[in-house]
Structure 1
Amino acid sequence: MTASAQFTLEDQADGAARLVLSGRLIVSTLTSVESKLRAVDAASVVDISGLEEVDTVGAWIVYRLSRDLDAPIEGASPEAERLIEAVKDTPDDTQTVPPEEPLATKVPAEVGTAVLGGISGTQQALSFLGAVVLAIFRVIRHPSRLRMTALVRQLQLVGVDALFIIGMMSFLVGIVIAQQGAVQLQQFGAEIYTINLTGRLALRELGVLMTAIMVAGRSGSAFAAQIGTMKLTEEVDAMRTIGVDPMEALVLPRVIACVVMLTLLGFYSSVISIIGGAVLGQLALGIPFITFLSRIKEVVPVLDLWVGLIKGPVFGLIIGMTGCYQGMKVEGNSEEVGLRTTKAVVEGIFMVIVLDAFFAVFFSKIGWL
């Protein structure tokens, strides 16, 4: 049996060409011959008596050749005839692109879909928050349910392992604050107030905010990826089967670790930022390092420290819950892990910035300036 389809053009006595097809004209053998058949521009007859096998795709090729060349088909077997008759009524100009929906209906439909999706997402997030609160109450009533090993492990991953990168980032941010502030203040001969600017910004805003953004990108994404992978491998379902609550075993240690460590890391970041500003003051402004640090105690109110410390656990709670929530929402395939991890980072950073703006307005209204 011939492995693939073949064709030849045979000259006839009247000078016209006869297109002769042979072999197996089926979908698996068309690759090598279809483009050559498209190049045939003239034939008086399409002879398919030499075809050993033909399927629907092959019958469509034969019919299209006959139609385009305006040549009759000869030598068709009964099976080939039935297939050719079946494909004759099939249009070849079927529209593959759906018609464009009018703008007047498309925009409201997309807005409605987005609103309904937002409402559904909010309900699910509140449900997740309720589950976390219930898990906290259960642990308070029965402290032995708290998995200390998992908690200590998460404290290390979220906090201890992040000390170097957060310290480096904070040091450089402190240098940038001091340098940019000094450039502007020098115009008024007030570069000494660079100390005030660096200390208040570091303790009140940038220390905890930059730390929260770093933790959201580092730990929030890790939470989503870890729990999401466990969802795909059905480890979470297995935990429920053996009577282990995933909220207590997986979510609670991560959330608590974020709340505790972000508070400490925020303070650590603020201190390192001030040290960075002091280094720049020593090198570029002629302000002695010790003088810089001593003046921080005089010009920066303790209230700024408390403002930063209040923000820390709130930001940690949001980041931890967002990462765990997105991880628990993973289902389907491994691509979903990447999508949910991205959403965990984006939503975590967005919520942190929104809350920071809220805190700025709130503290201003109550006079904590």
Structure 2
Amino acid sequence: MRPADFQLDDSGDGKVLRLTGDWTTTGVGSAARRLAGRLGPDPLLGLDLSELGRFDTAGALTLIHAAPDLLPDDAWRDRPEAGRIFAMVERLERESAAPPRRADAFTRTFAKMGRGVYDIGHEMTMSMAFLGRLMVASGAAMRHPRGIRWPAWFSQAERAGLDALPIIAVTNFFIGAVIAFLGANLLTQFGAGVFTVQLVAVATLRELAVLITAILLAGRSASSFAAEVGSMRMNQEVDAMQVMGVNPFQALVIPRLAAMILMLPLLTFVGMLAGFLGGMLVTWSQLSYGPAFFIQRISEDPMMGTHLMVGMVKAPVFAVVIAAIGCRQGMSVAGDVESLGRRVTAAVVQAIFAIIFLDAVFALIFLELNL
């Protein structure tokens, strides 16, 4: 048995480590301590293994501790069996290493804020890119109407619109009833209970019907769009479409966008009627104002047409936002189920936030226009 030893040959551009002897458990000896003291921060150009004898895990561990990041990738090409031992020990050493020291709470807080700002900027950039591709695909669909997949349009309209009709009507019915209860309770204290009808009509027409309908569709349809498109991304069906020459935006995004633009105004109008019905029943039961009186008060107010227009103008914009966010999150799904869950959640949250934000913007615009 020859004891382990080494030499460092300086070639000008760097150092070459020449190993001699048996780098084994019994042969390493003091070479480990001397090697750690001789190596500097300069990278090694390679290993000279021409005089290397036996080599085992003890020798590999010695080299890892002495030069953890200095050895080149192709250093073991002359002794591949020694390279395999070294790679195995290096992997085990890396996996068993203690986790890095956790930063203090102050640093972690600002790091989380920085990552949040970066994520917001990345999401905005990707959303603008998706919006540009969506505009190009929409223009192509309008220029070539023969390529429109009408069955997909009608199927999505049924699933995203007509199937949501019961929940939209019931929810708006109870919202109208709640507004009527509040108005009847508060306005009768001032002898103005008759204005409960106007309160229900204005709140339903301008804000509540379109807002409640859009939020329900954001939770129902945006999540559905993200899950459907995302599952196709996971199964590589979108890639298969591109290979076959099918534009995924034409086949997946445009039908869902068209269905939402068509059905959300219709559902909003149904929600308005349901809200009126709920408010009318409450005013009839609480204030003894019959249906004829309720309808007369609404029809005689000259501003009701303006309120109706304000509410209906928002519906197509909200529809575009819901469909675009749902499909954009679906297109961003990676190849795992965890990514799908995150994207579906992000689609719902972003759609609801965008709806409320745009509703506030519309309120400011109509306020400036005196509408």
Look up the SS of the partner of 2:200 in the other structure. Answer: helix
Structure 1 residues 95 and 241: CA distance shift in structure 2, 3 A: closer
2:138 to 129, 136, 139: 136
Shift of 1:317: 0.4
Residue 345 (structure 1) aligns with? 348
Shift of 1:328: 0.5
Shift of 1:103: 4.5
Q: How far apart, CA to CA, are the structure 1 residues paired with 2:156 and 2:334?
A: 24
Which residues in structure 2 correspond to 1:71-150 (within 5 Å)?
A: 96=98, 98-150=100-152
Q: How far apart, CA to CA, are the structure 1 residues paired with 2:97 and 2:241?
A: 50
Shift of 1:334: 1.5
Residue 196 (structure 2) aligns with? 194
Question: Residues 229 and 331 of structure 2 are in contact (CA less than 8 Å); yes or no, is this contact kept in structure 1?
Answer: yes
1:212 to 190, 194, 214: 214
Look up the SS of the partner of 1:356 in the other structure. Answer: helix
Shift of 1:107: 3.4
Residue 253 (structure 1) aligns with? 255
Q: How far apart, CA to CA, are the structure 1 residues paired with 2:99 and 2:193?
A: 65
Q: Deviations over 1:301-340 (max 9, x none)?
A: 2111110111000000000001001111111211222211
Question: Residues 263 and 313 of structure 1 are in contact (CA less than 8 Å); yes or no, is this contact kept in structure 2?
Answer: yes
Shift of 1:273: 0.2
Shift of 1:212: 0.2
Structure 2 unaligned spans of 5+: 1-56, 58-91
Residue 281 (structure 1) aligns with? 283
Question: Residues 170 and 273 of structure 1 are in contact (CA less than 8 Å); yes or no, is this contact kept in structure 2?
Answer: yes
| Structure 2 letter corresponding to 1:351 | A
> Aligned pairs, how many?
279
Q: Structure 2 length as normaliser, TM-score?
A: 0.72
| Structure 1 letter corresponding to 2:323 | G
Residue 223 (structure 1) aligns with? 225
1:356 to 354, 359, 367: 359
2:368 to 348, 358, 365: 365
Q: How far apart, CA to CA, are the structure 2 residues paired with 1:180 and 1:97?
A: 58
Give the % identical residues: 40
Residue 244 (structure 2) aligns with? 242
Moved over 6 A (4+): none
Residue 335 (structure 1) aligns with? 338
| Structure 1 letter corresponding to 2:368 | K
Look up the SS of the partner of 2:322 in the other structure. Answer: helix
Q: Deviations over 1:222-268 (max 9, x none)?
A: 00010011111111111111010000000001011111211111111
2:311 to 308, 323, 332: 308
Q: How far apart, CA to CA, are the structure 1 residues paired with 2:340 and 2:114?
A: 27
Q: How far apart, CA to CA, are the structure 2 residues paired with 1:254 and 1:194?
A: 39
Shift of 1:113: 2.0
Residue 326 (structure 1) aligns with? 329
Supply the RMSD in Å over aligned alpha carbons: 2.0
| Structure 1 letter corresponding to 2:127 | A
Structure 1 residues 104 and 173: CA distance shift in structure 2, 3 A: closer
| Structure 1 letter corresponding to 2:289 | I
Q: Deviations over 1:92-131 (max 9, x none)?
A: xx99554331345433333222222211111111000011
Question: Residues 211 and 355 of structure 2 are in contact (CA less than 8 Å); yes or no, is this contact kept in structure 1?
Answer: yes
Residue 184 (structure 2) aligns with? 182
Residue 13 (structure 1) aligns with? none
Q: Deviations over 1:64-109 (max 9, x none)?
A: xxxxxxxxxxxxxxxxxxxxxxxxxx99xx9955433134543333
Q: Structure 1 length as normaliser, TM-score?
A: 0.72
Question: Residues 184 and 286 of structure 2 are in contact (CA less than 8 Å); yes or no, is this contact kept in structure 1?
Answer: no
